[in-house]
Amino acid sequence: MQKPSFQPYYVKALSSEQAQLPTWFPSGHSEEFQLILRKLFERGFRLMRKLNIQKGNLSNISKNFVLSNPQIHVVMLRRALDGSVIYLARVGSQVQGPSGFMHGGATAALLDDCVSSAVLLSGPFAMTVQLNVQYRKPVPLNSVVVVEGYIDQTNGRKTIAGGKMYHPDGALYAEATLLFVKPRLVEPKM
Ligand SMILES: CCCCCCCCCCCCCC(=O)SCCNC(=O)CCNC(=O)[C@H](O)C(C)(C)COP(=O)(O)OP(=O)(O)OC[C@H]1O[C@@H](n2cnc3c(N)ncnc32)[C@H](O)[C@@H]1OP(=O)(O)O
């Protein structure tokens, strides 16, 4: 059986010079989980510096609403086994909807972004045309969430995909189903 492995793709950072470990690690999570996160961030930052120097190709992604948002730190990983994408994200205090909890629109954006990454990294450019989110539990501000994006099926220009947002202990915050369509004419650059 193939061993599951992860490949860090992108770590939110304003520039390679500013890429540094966030200061929020030491709260609310087991030491083991903190160690895993820390290692992932370090690997992600190293990769990002390398990509910036060698290709300089992350400029468009760094304008992305979710990935460049100063209130949302993301480590993006891609599962080698099935191409699904994992975002380890930490949401800040100003992404508030209900008092103390994350805004539902931000939850939707994070899910959309993660699933879109899975779709974009797996094939030709496609855009979200439908996003249906089921909100199961409110997401506390200043917490770490795990988001997973995966493709269910592709049929011609249409791709049906799904996403889930969890607490690191596995409790489900939200889940989404999405429809992507590959545009007939233009292929905007992302
Ligand atoms: C290191 C690398 C990492 C990379 C990570 C990067 C992360 C970045 C992440 C960024 C994430 C950002 C993510 C975002 O935010 S994406 C931004 C939000 N989405 C949009 O703005 C999309 C707006 N829509 C359009 O522009 C057009 O609809 C497009 C161009 C997509 C298709 O128009 P086009 O003229 O080409 O196609 P068509 O009209 O002939 O339709 C084709 C087929 O599709 C069916 N259809 C269409 N719409 C719907 C619908 N709503 N429900 C159900 N079905 C629908 C339609 O019936 C037809 O089916 P059929 O009749 O053939 O059976």
Share of the chain above pLDDT 70, in %: 63
128 Cα: distance to centroid of ligand 1 (angstroms):
5
Q: What is the pLDDT of residue 60?
A: 53
Per-residue model confidence as pLDDT tens digits over 6-37: 444 444 333 333 334 444 343 445 566 566 66
Q: Would you say how long the chain is, in residues? A: 190
Backbone angles phi, psi at 177, to 5 degrees: -115, 140
User: Which atom of ligand 1 has the smallest separation from the CA of 181?
Assistant: 31
- Using a 6 Å cutoff on CB, does residue 179 contact ligand 1? yes
Q: Nearest Cα to 167, choosing from 147, 186, 190?
A: 147
Q: What is the pLDDT of residue 46?
A: 59
DSSP letter for each residue of 12-75: --SSTTT----TTTTSSS-HHHHHHHHHHHHHHHHHHHHHHHHT---TTGGG-TTTT-TTEEEE
- Using a 6 Å cutoff on CB, does residue 64 contact ligand 1? yes
How remote is the C-alpha of 174 from its chain's centroid?
14
Domains along the chain with CATH numbers: 6-181 (3.10.129.10)
ipTM above 0.90, yes or no: yes
pTM: 0.80
- Using a 6 Å cutoff on CB, does residue 190 contact ligand 1? yes
